[in-house]
């Protein structure tokens, strides 16, 4: 597994992390694009979404010293957004 937080989170698979269901509201166009792009890259739409979210979080909230944050490693976001 990669040592930087973006790589670690992006590469960690279901066997290494718990998976929760997270409803996501997309337009039909976004859902179709997600399906096509994920298929073109040999992934499911869920895998691509998890990778995109993981890479975004790793860039937005880097963990000092590399690695991925623990279960409570991400900062808490206050009600009402960031």
Sequential pLDDT tens for the chain (82 residues): 444 555 555 555 556 678 888 898 999 999 999 999 999 999 999 999 999 998 998 888 887 655 555 555 555 555 555 5
Check residue 4 and give its pLDDT: 52
Domain ranges of the chain: 1-12+27-61
Global confidence as pTM: 0.56
Check residue 3 and give its pLDDT: 44
Name, in order, each residue with C-beta under 8 angstroms of 19's C-beta and a sequence gap of 6 or more.
Answer: none
Check residue 36 and give its pLDDT: 96
CA pseudo-torsion sign 67, 57, 42, 20: positive
Check residue 45 and give its pLDDT: 94
Residue with tokens 């694009």: 33
**CA trace torsion 74, 43, 17, 25 (10° rounding):** 50
Query: How crowded is residue 54: how many other Cβ atoms within 10 Å of its Cβ?
Result: 20
């Amino acid at each position: 597994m990669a040592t930087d937080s973006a790589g670690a989170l992006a590469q960690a698979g279901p066997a290494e992390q718990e998976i929760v269901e997270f409803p996501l509201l997309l337009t039909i166009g976004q859902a179709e694009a997600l399906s096509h792009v994920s298929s073109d890259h040999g992934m499911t739409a869920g895998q691509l979404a998890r990778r995109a979210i993981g890479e975004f979080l790793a860039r937005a909230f880097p963990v000092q010293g590399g690695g991925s944050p623990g279960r409570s490693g991400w900062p808490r976001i206050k009600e009402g957004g960031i």
